[in-house]
Amino acid sequence: MSEPRKITIFDTTLRDGEQSPGCSMNLTEKLELAQALIDLGVDVMEAGFPIASPGDFEAVREISSTMKGTTFCGLARCSDKDIDRAWEALKHAERSRIHVFLATSAIHREFKLKMTREQIISRAVEGVTRAHNYCDDIEFSPEDAARTEHDFLCEVVEAAIAAGASTINIPDTVGYATPQQMGETISMLFNRVPNIDRAVISIHCHNDLGLAVANSLAAVQNGAGQIECTVNGIGERAGNCSLEEVVMAMKTRQDFYNLETNINTQRLVPTSRLLTSITGMNVQRNKAIVGQNAFAHEAGIHQDGMLKERTTYEIMRPEDVGLSKTDLVLGKHSGRAALGDRARELGYHLTGEQLQEVFEEFKKLADKKKEIYDGDIHALIQARIHGGGESEHGWSLVAFDVKSTSGKTPVCKLTLSRDGKEFTEEVAEGDGPIDAAFWAVEKITGLEITCKDYQVRSATLGRDAIGEVLIEVEYQGKVFRGRGTSTDTVESTIQAILDAVNRIENRS
């Protein structure tokens, strides 16, 4: 067999992934995830859509100017303002790429753009040319390429390459393609576009029919050199091609695909869990590679086979994707250095001040629990460092007293602090202790919020495990997330509510 062909991994978690409902991130969270993606080994990181909002612009500029180790990319429509704004955000990057796009399918031409084929080609050439005046690494996407007529698609691709595009991305924008169709489309471009050798062909698949990974693999089988994907497959509607799935498919079946990537696969699970913690969007238990059940064996015949020979029922080793066989790590006598080392292994880059904050909470937890697990450390770091309410001017919990008895209205006495002042209210309302806590927070903060989603889960094993509460609340038509952790579920709920409240007040 010949040497494996290297496939470029283009990660768009921070751009297309963040467009998934409920997955918006603040700057601190984006910076943390960006560093994790660099540690993971992605070749190109699409850090955002700079013209979309001041927050997106700031995130792309901050990430691309302060970090190294990958190519940083910004998205832009084929318009002067978009392209100029993208370059303004990217110009201090060690390596930068401008990604311009323009819809090409008949349905988009007629109903969205109201442009002719000739106008589309002219606009595409103008956009690529303008972007190429700023930097050499230009990617062009004919949006909805999977539903674009082949003759016209070839014309647009040829013109974009001639104008300076070094990567041509073929998006299945609405997840309509099938693997055979996608493979044939990529093969067709190689056969019919005369200057195709001057560009890398990329693939960007959505998962509306559950075929994003299969379509992406079909594309690289037929010559595509780049896959666009997201961690956990997050993205608009049903999501994007899952990075961890497509990477491990190529690695596990290298005998079939003869392809390889630069991804450090041992960082897959830590990166997946970091994203879950940031967004509050859990992956399904049976999700390939990173799901809770991905390496679990319950059936007796499977367990028997595993004990005799692992490969009878496992095609990958858990360690290869970052699952540790020894989850138990620390106890009450462990020091700050040991905690810092474990945090780094779990994918976190903490400053000295952040480590001290987490260590103080760790010692408190160690007094309550005999054994500290990786999940506990994840929860502590997320609660202390990456919550939306980390501002010193935000609301914080001082004390609470909740009484709930069958057949009686629950009572919640709550004391919160803000700017050095304490506020106490006692309410007797609601259907239970959680509802009473919501009423008490509303009364003190003066914000009327509606709970849209409430999830409680255990961060680790055992009856003394940390309980993590994830909530979504609506305020003035917008949805805000909150996270809280504690060995006491009511306490973690109040923390989650306050996290959401602080996000509301700091939303600017």
Same structural domain, 157 and 50? yes
Nearest CA among 274, 279, 207 for reference residue 246: 207
Q: Which domain holds residue 471?
A: 396-505
Specify whether the CB–CB gap between 475 and 419 falls below 8 A.
no
- pLDDT at site 386: 55
Residue 269 lies in a domain: yes
10 Å CB burial of residue 246 (0-12, 13-18, 19+) is: buried
Same structural domain, 438 and 402? yes
Residue 163 lies in a domain: yes
Residue 287 lies in a domain: no
Global pTM value: 0.83
How would you write the pLDDT of the chain (508 residues) with one tens digit per residue?
Answer: 789 999 999 999 999 988 877 678 889 889 999 999 999 999 999 999 999 999 999 999 999 999 999 999 999 999 999 999 999 999 999 999 999 999 999 999 999 999 999 999 999 999 999 999 999 999 999 999 999 999 999 999 999 999 999 999 999 999 999 999 999 999 999 999 999 999 999 999 999 999 999 999 999 999 999 999 999 999 999 999 999 999 999 999 999 999 999 999 999 999 998 898 888 788 888 999 998 778 764 444 444 554 456 666 678 888 889 876 544 456 667 788 888 888 887 778 888 888 898 888 888 887 877 677 777 887 788 776 655 444 456 899 999 998 888 888 899 999 999 988 999 989 888 888 888 889 999 999 999 999 998 988 877 666 667 788 889 899 998 888 888 888 888 898 999 999 899 989 886 4
Same structural domain, 320 and 332? no
Residue 390 lies in a domain: no
- pLDDT at site 461: 65
Residue 285 lies in a domain: no
DSSP letter at 488 equals: S
Specify whether the CB–CB gap between 205 and 212 falls below 8 A.
yes
Across the chain, which distance is largest between two alpha carbons, in Å? Answer: 78
Same structural domain, 17 and 160? yes
Same structural domain, 305 and 258? no
Q: Which of 279, 313, 347 is the last residue of a domain?
A: 279
SS3 content of the chain, % helix, strand, coil (to 5): 45, 20, 35
Distance CA 242, CA 244 (A): 6
Which structure tokens are listed for 149? 């007529």
- pLDDT at site 387: 53
Beta bridge partners of 475: 478
Amino acid of residue 59: A
Q: How many domains does the chain have?
A: 4
Q: Which of 337, 358, 385 is the last residue of a domain?
A: 385
Same structural domain, 264 and 299? no
CA atoms within 13 Å, Cβ hemisphere of 157 = 31
Rg over alpha carbons for the chain, rounded to the nearest Å, is 25
Q: Which of 324, 343, 361 is the last residue of a domain?
A: 324
- pLDDT at site 465: 73
CA atoms within 13 Å, Cβ hemisphere of 272 = 24
Same structural domain, 258 and 183? yes
Residue 443 lies in a domain: yes
Same structural domain, 122 and 263? yes
Residue 290 lies in a domain: no
Same structural domain, 312 and 332? no
Same structural domain, 483 and 498? yes
Same structural domain, 194 and 231? yes
Domain at 270, CATH number? 3.20.20.70
Residue 284 lies in a domain: no
DSSP 410-472: -EEEEEEEETTEEEEEEE--SSSHHHHHHHHHHHHH----EEEEEEEEESSSSTTPPEEEEEE
β 44-48/71-77 pair status: parallel
Same structural domain, 400 and 373? no
Which structure tokens are listed for 494? 């109040």
